[in-house]
Chains A and B, each alone.
Chain A
């Protein structure tokens, strides 16, 4: 008799074998009445051994009163039930390939049976891969987030280093454009400025003048008064030049050793000579004692002045050379004087 009833049920539930999803059916006494082909393959538990057995044998969590209570609604009121993979992990413990239990999402659907009873159809979806993917995705994202944070920290550090370097470079530039001893511009800065002024004078076809000056008998001053006094002497000369060269476009620098240079843009020979002469007098009038000078009782300087209107045939070096030659002549002629040697336009050397 029982076999006949089972046969009938088997016929009734035959369609479930066509489902692409694992499924089983229990009656209101919790006995298994169907175990579909997909579930047979998946669980490796043959249908023949399950039919007629209590389903809690295969779904052990239903030995728990709490779960039994939840499926009561199926049989009494025909209410469907969801057992999410998130809250239940699995209904039927089936080992996955990685020695882990398959993660399952289960839906229980009431199927009307005879005499207003219900069968409970459990469809069990394997969501192991999906849940692994989510977990993997999460790990990937956490790692990416950590990397982003790390990168940001490195970038911040780098930005800070760059800022420090920029500040240092700025400072270095100022430092490197100033002569450490006298505090006026140095040779490097002169070279830069002179080239710029030369090109401007050439462009605007304006005269440009150079004054080159050299302290007379500086070696003797150094030797006799000492290096510290020598340094102070250089500072005093620089200070004197600062006091005389007033126009904002004019530029002066320590040219090297005890030599100084003044650039006078837009200045004709006459104006340059006038400035050189007042500067010569101004320096002597400072009355810095120089007992070892045969030119004066005080520290003096010799001046070479040269003026030109630059043209294409000229090299900026030419004007410096001419000023230097004038300076040489001033030394030769007895020092503490101003000699002019202009560079005529169109004459290269």
Chain B
């Protein structure tokens, strides 16, 4: 099953609304101007994802994962390539990059950042969904690209990847983060999108 270009456009818009709200919250937390944008959304299967992730060429991808269940079940993840993770943490915590407690801080800080962004996006999505979705507490993990997906075969039938770009003007920091949704089915999502139009 494929999404039509219209579907992708709508999805991009929904995600952008959520990401925009998250950006506002980060703005207020940082007291500096954070821009968060999602220009591209891909819909992939498991095999295509491996090829897609190869470009990050890292064995240590940091991710925050929030499982959800209901009419749509799956896992929403925010993936930080290593540079983005370091930049964000040092920006948010005021810690020097490479200092010792980076590792200790990283988990906590990125978990909260991930939580803010994912809540923005999932909030935006669930505002469209009539039925009930239950969310679990976000979980922080560091894995290789291949360990990024859950081992639940039913979730990984459909993967939505959103490339988000963030930039912080005052600090000249920018980077990309990935929004990754593994879902059991696209049908529900498609019907939601269709209902909107």
Contact = CB atoms under 8 A, between A and B. Distances in A.
A107 B122 contact: no
Contacts of B105: 86
Interface string A65-94: 010011001001111111111111000000
Given A77-B127, A82-B138, A110-B135, A138 B99 contact: yes
Contacts of B138: 80, 82
A87 B29 contact: yes
A116 interface: yes
Contact of B109 (A87, A107, A109, A110): A87
B132 A79 contact: no
A84 B137 contact: no
Interface residues of B, number: 29
A147 to B, nearest CB: 16
Contacts of A137: 100-101
A78 B133 contact: yes
B122 A138 contact: no
B108 A84 contact: yes
B168 interface: no
Interface in A296-315: none
Nearest to B114: A82
B48 interface: no
B111 interface: yes
Contacts of B127: 76-77
B146 to A, nearest CB: 26
B111 A82 contact: yes
Interface string B78-119: 000000000000001100000111001100110110011001
Contacts of B122: 77, 79
Nearest to A142: B100
B175 interface: no
B25 interface: yes
Which interface class (under 10, 10 to 19, 20 to 34, 35 or more) fits A?
Answer: 20 to 34
Chain B contact residues: over half helix, strand or loop, or mixed?
helix
A135 B108 CA distance: 15
B101 A84 contact: no
A105 interface: yes
A141 interface: yes
A134 interface: yes
Contact of A80 (B100, B108, B136): B136
Contact of A134 (B93, B104, B119): B104
Contacts of B100: 137-138, 141
B93 A70 contact: no
Contact of A78 (B93, B104, B135): B135
A102 to B, nearest CB: 16
Contacts of B92: 86-87
B191 interface: no
B134 interface: yes
A134 B109 contact: no
B28 interface: yes
B137 A109 contact: yes
Contacts of A76: 123, 127
A80 B66 contact: yes
B66 A87 contact: no
A116 B92 CA distance: 35
Contacts of B126: 77-79
Nearest to A116: B132
Contacts of B119: 70, 73, 77, 79-81
Interface string B123-153: 1001100001111111000000000000000
Given A87-B92, A137-B100, A138-B100, A79 B28 contact: no
Interface in A16-66: 66
Contacts of A79: 119, 122-123, 126, 135
A80 B135 contact: yes
Nearest to A138: B100
Interface of B: 25, 28-29, 66, 92-93, 99-101, 104-105, 108-109, 111-112, 115-116, 119, 122-123, 126-127, 132-138
9 contacts: A76-B123, A82-B111, A82-B115, A84-B112, A87-B109, A87-B112, A116-B132, A134-B101, A134-B104
Given A70-B119, A77-B126, A141-B100, 10 more contacts: A66-B25, A78-B126, A78-B133, A78-B135, A81-B119, A86-B93, A86-B108, A87-B108, A135-B101, A137-B100
Closest 8 CB pairs of A and B: A84-B108, A84-B112, A66-B28, A82-B115, A86-B108, A79-B119, A77-B126, A82-B112
